[in-house]
Amino acid sequence: MVARQRKFRRPLGDRRYKKLFLIAAEGIKTEPIYFGIFTDEKSIVQVSCLKGKSDSSPPQVLKRMTDHLLSEGLKSSDEAWLVVDKDQWTDEQLSQLHQWGSYQENYGFALSNPKFEYWLLLHFEEGTDIGSPRDCTERLKHWIPGYNKGFDTRKISQSQIEDAIRRAKKRDHPPCEDWPKNLGQTTVYRLIENILKARTE
């Protein structure tokens, strides 16, 4: 029997509506751990990653999101984001996600080139001279010894998150209209900016 996925229901008695950021990500471990930083019982936003059975291709990430929205819907005040790596994926595969992310104002598409670990790296350093996915992982291990997809989120502070946004913006100049084509770039900062803004509203 297939277990039913828990639905995103909110108690009717909440004094304040928690804005939902719904995320479908390529990875099943690192991304959910990271985005968990932004939501807790006291937070005025809820950040939820849709669960996947294994690491996904971009079309599978898109399907996971569209299937969920078809059954659950999304309030106009909430946001839905696709988060993937460049890896070896083709422009044709990624263009589908970009088109979906441009379809509605509260939809988004964030990509890290070469992979999500690059966004993590920017919390600690400028992230220059990345030549391959392996470079990215090895550099991250310098800051998070023993890194293997999982990590202690207590090692990431608010100021480091703000540093990562600043560094990512600096490398995304002028801002790309679709997704980062060069190694050492990420647009995850756009999603994080929206989350931080919602937490202060």
Question: Which pair of structure tokens corresponds to residue 146?
Answer: 């023993």
Residue range 46-54: mean pLDDT, rounded: 89
Residue entry with tokens 């391959």: 132
Give the chain's mean pLDDT.
90
Distance CA 22, CA 49 (A): 6
Task: Judge contact between 180 and 113, C-beta under 8 A.
Answer: yes
Model confidence at 53, pLDDT cuts 50, 70, 90, reads confident
Which pLDDT belongs to residue 12? 46
Give the C-alpha distances (Å, rounded to integers) separating 3 from 6, 7, 23: 9, 12, 20
b/e burial code for range 7-37 (CB count within 10 A of at least 16 → b): eeeeeeeeeeeebbbbbbbbbeebbbebbeb
At residue 166, does pLDDT exceed 80?
A: yes
* pTM of the entire predicted model: 0.89
Helices assigned H by DSSP within 108-157 = 116-121, 133-143
pLDDT digits (tens, 9 = 90+) for 116-145: 999 999 999 999 999 999 999 999 999 999
**To the nearest whole percent, how much of the chain has pLDDT over 70?**
92
Residue range 101-122: mean pLDDT, rounded: 97
Model confidence at 3, pLDDT cuts 50, 70, 90, reads very low
Question: Which pair of structure tokens corresponds to residue 182?
Answer: 């060069």
Helices assigned H by DSSP within 23-157 = 30-35, 58-72, 91-101, 116-121, 133-143
